[in-house]
Chain A
Amino acid sequence: MSPLPALALPGGLADVWVYLSTTPLLGLALTLVVYHGAFLVYQRAGFNPLANPVAIAVMVLATLLWVTGTPYATYFEGAQFVHFLLGPATVALAVPLFEQLPRLRRLWLPLLGALVAGSVAAAVSAVLVGWALGASRATLASLAPKSVTSPVAMGIAEKIGGIPSLTAVLVAATGIIGAASARSLFNAMRISDPTVRGFALGTAAHGIGTARAFQVSDEMGAFAGLAMGLSALFSAVALPLLGGLLLRWL
């Protein structure tokens, strides 16, 4: 899609726009304001998983950038400060992990089994379905790590011949799909244990799933965060090997 021609603004306003569009301030402010607005919509919708705030915020921001003809790189100059926090947030997952340590010791085998089975199932099914429907190699390699949290997923994609920035988009889309569908899926499967629901959601839908889980309960959130952290560890080591093998075999 080609961008629209730059908006025709009256003289003074055009100068302000020219100035603002060169500072990181606009991208940063816009990200926070739009996300906050999207979160209010989500809240107003009674935290209905279909009104996912990430999905709403991304649609609004992408539309705004397109209408104003702003390149993504210019927007990211400012938004990178939010993006950067993914690193410290990953480190911060040590806290919910630590708080669940006693249960972790008791449940380590089921958790480990669920993590490995879920992570492998996610990567293999994504690549196989994409391949069966004729996706290109670069797309397949970008799809493989889509259930892993973005900084890790982008690194994996790069290693197996994917496009890191495309992976970041697919990761977010996966998170939104997981957060939106988890409740219906687990109800249909008759799984009510919040530790299982949280852990499976975190394995499939990383941080966005974890954010959703925390809105349901702290317990579910802690297990989702745990799954996200463990899957980052496991996938960073296993997925480059598994994904590489799978792509060579297809």
Chain B
Amino acid sequence: MIPALATLLVFQLMGEVVVMSLGLPVPGPVVGLALLLTLLVLRPATLTAIKPTVQGLLQHLSLLFVPAAVGVMQHLQRLGDEALAIGVALVVSTLVCMAVSAWTMVWLMKRMEQKP
């Protein structure tokens, strides 16, 4: 577990360093993700060392959103004033996004099958 956590943190750190020094518009952890993916491609053996911890972490991914979401307390005034606009915008855009994304993927997969 410790080597896995260390790996994740070191890659996040490297990501942050790359982002800061090159002034990239991407967040550090995302660059860390890309770097770790590169390592896994180059040395697939790394996978067995980090997989159990990674699985544990990703299984409880939704827990990690809780602290920021409790911040809803700070925005009750604005959320109350604009409740209708925010609520409808969230529901509509989430459904539209899922539908558009799924349709596009199905459509492109069908096109690929037709001309191999």
Evaluate contact between B91 and A177: CB separation under 8 angstroms.
Answer: yes
A52 proximity list for chain B (CB < 8 A): 62
0 or 1 for each of B67-85: is its CB under 8 Å from A? (1 = yes)? 1111111111011001011
B1 within 8 A of A: no
CA distance A109 to B100 in the complex (A): 15
Q: How many residues of A contact B (CB 8 A)?
A: 110
Q: Could you tell me the dominant secondary structure of chain A's interface residues?
A: helix
B61: chain A residues within 8 A (beta carbon): 89, 207-208, 210-211, 214
Q: Which B residues lie within 8 Å of A232 (CB)?
A: 27, 30, 33
B104 contacts A113, CB within 8 Å? yes
Q: Are B85 and A139 in contact (CB under 8 A)?
A: yes
Scan B81-111; emit 1 where CB is below 8 A from any A CB, else 0.
0101110111111111111111111111100
Majority secondary structure of chain B interface residues (helix, strand, loop or mixed)? helix
CB-defined contacts of B64 to chain A, threshold 8 Å: 82-83, 85-86, 89, 207
**From residue A71, how far is it (CB to closest CB) to chain B in Å?**
9
- How many chain B residues sit at the interface, stated as a range, is 35 or more
A10 at the interface (CB under 8 A from B): no
> Is A201 an interface position by the 8 A CB rule?
yes
B18 interfacial contact with A, CB 8 Å:
no
A171 lies within 8 A of B40 (CB)? no
Binary CB contact string for chain B from 7 to 36 against chain A (1 if under 8 A, 0 otherwise): 011011001000000000111111011101
B residues within 8 A CB of A1?
A: 76
In the complex, whether A61 has a CB less than 8 A from a CB of chain B is yes
Report the bound CA distance from A35 to B93 in whole Å. Answer: 27
Q: Does A111 contact B (CB under 8 A)?
A: yes
Can you list the 4 inter-chain pairs with the closest CB atoms, starting with the nearest? Answer: A118-B101, A79-B67, A172-B69, A122-B97
